[in-house]
Chains A and B, each alone.
Chain A
Amino acid sequence: MAKPANRIEPLLHNRLAVLRAERGLSRGQLAEALGVNYQTVGYLERGEYNPSLDLALRTADYFGLPVEAIFSREPFPTMSSQLYPVATRPGQGG
């Protein structure tokens, strides 16, 4: 995730790219649904822009998920580690 040199606000991690890909949406389509410029979706996905509370809640409403499932101050665990925890992988753990 690119981080501009003059960034002053804390970095927010998000799952927007995954959610958008999951639903087969283009940035333009998501932008239209959220009422923002299509470039803003790109900046959000790259973590170069932190949404306002209003935009975060609108995004959560659109995807039908709690806001903390989309935005987080800590990095999200990878999908593979969530689907296949180390303990359940063949040949590893009990």
Chain B
Amino acid sequence: MVSRSMPSGEPWVDNLSQRRRRVIVALTLAALPMLLAWWWWCSVNSASGGLWFLIVVILLGQAVGGSLVLLAHWSRANRPDRLDERQRQLRDRAWVLSYRVTVIAIAVAVEGALAVPVFGLGRPITLDAGFAYPWGLASIVIFAVLPAAALAWIEPDPPAEI
């Protein structure tokens, strides 16, 4: 008989399959940029009403709910008294992965910003506060959740008990 050997009392966040965790990571990391893109689109097209509110609530819930699940999973895996050598190694890999993603994201953003005056024929860069502040806030949230997201992404499914 093959079964998952999850000892009783384990919280459900430890029982999520890798596939489900990856779906949660994708939804969580996509939610804030989608929310900001939706906000920007609505402001340009002056859309409002029930649909606007509904989509905002769904995307916000997606971002907050997903972040809480990822952080719960991370905090369980991040308690030093509960970690063995494999779990510590996995956590280190998650830190490295999130660091790489952060560095690449910052490099792309800086290069993109520098490319405007270089290739944009001397056009100045202007940052609208209404645009920059929400994106800055979203970036902080995403970068804060990134190590937890990386751990949830790379941690393989536990082996089945035979």
CB within 8 Å of B: which residues of A? Answer: 4, 17, 26-28, 35-40, 42-43, 45-46, 48-49, 51-52, 54-55
Contacts and interface: CB of A to CB of B under 8 A. Distances in A.
25 contacts: A17-B162, A26-B5, A26-B161, A27-B5, A27-B161, A28-B5, A28-B7, A36-B84, A36-B85, A37-B82, A37-B83, A37-B84, A37-B86, A37-B87, A40-B86, A40-B87, A42-B160, A43-B158, A43-B159, A46-B159, A48-B156, A48-B159, A49-B86, A52-B85, A54-B85
Interface of B: 5, 7, 82-87, 156, 158-162
A13 B156 CA distance: 19
A42 B84 contact: no
A48 B85 CA distance: 14
Contact of A36 (B86, B158, B162): B86
Contacts of B5: 26-28, 38, 42
A42 to B, nearest CB: 3
A38 B85 CA distance: 12
